[in-house]
Amino acid sequence: MSKDSKKELIVTHSVTKVYQEDGVPVEAIGGIDLSIKSGEFTAIVGPSGSGKTTFLNIISGLDFPSSGEVWLAGKKLTEMSGKELSDFRRDHIGFIFQAYNLIPVLTVEENVEYIMLLQKVPRTDRHKRVEKILFDLGLEGFVNRFPTKLSGGQQQRVAVARAIVSQPSLVLADEPTANLDSKTGAELLDMMRKLNEKSGITFVFSTHDPKIMERARRLITLKDGRIDSDELKG
């Protein structure tokens, strides 16, 4: 890794991913070299089939590359065991999914504090963190509600709260606005950008939503599993 590696949160070297379809190899990722620094608000964009979700899964350790190396927060993911990866993701990565993925039998508060329970964060600290993040996201009156009693936008805000309350190094968001109307999606993105500016948490999106592209400070465009362009915005 380079001398500047202490500022690099994500580094990939020659990452490829090849799937087998009916015995025929299909290349999803074709050799990506990339560095993303701490504090970035970056969108990985491209048409369906460009490899963006596959690449997001690889940099999070949810999937393994066919070849190449992946580093996150100074650790080489491609050398970790399953248990090591699971613990590392728990402590360093927050996830926001298109389908919210809230636990229906848990209240808003219980959903948000769930990762901190796994991390064995003391109860008083959990409560303080949950209270603050729900206030920041305009959900202070929804603590005891269940997901089915929330709108789609409210559910996704709970998902954002859950992703960042454990103070991860990185938040990965896969099409987080896909199931939201335009106004709700824009409001949520503005909240995430403010959280990024305030906390310094790194956000990386996989998306084709123009609203995310407008707000991202860096746009990485994939085409046929390769980086087609990499644009830093003002």
Average pLDDT score, the chain: 90
Beta bridge partners of 41: 203
- Tens digits of residue pLDDT in 45-63: 998 889 998 999 999 999 9
pTM of the model: 0.89
Give the pLDDT score at 4: 45
- Asked whether residue 6 carries a pLDDT value surpassing 60, the answer given is no
Which residues are CB-neighbours of 33 under 8 A, at least 6 positions away? 12, 13, 14, 15
Q: How far apart are CA 41 and CA 97, in angstroms?
A: 17
Residue ranges of domains in the chain, CATH in brackets: 5-232 (3.40.50.300)
Give the pLDDT score at 47: 87
Task: Name the nearest CA neighbour of 32 among 61, 71, 81, 69.
Answer: 69
- Tens digits of residue pLDDT in 179-216: 888 888 898 899 889 989 988 899 999 998 899 999 99
- Tens digits of residue pLDDT in 67-100: 999 999 999 998 998 889 999 998 999 998 888 8
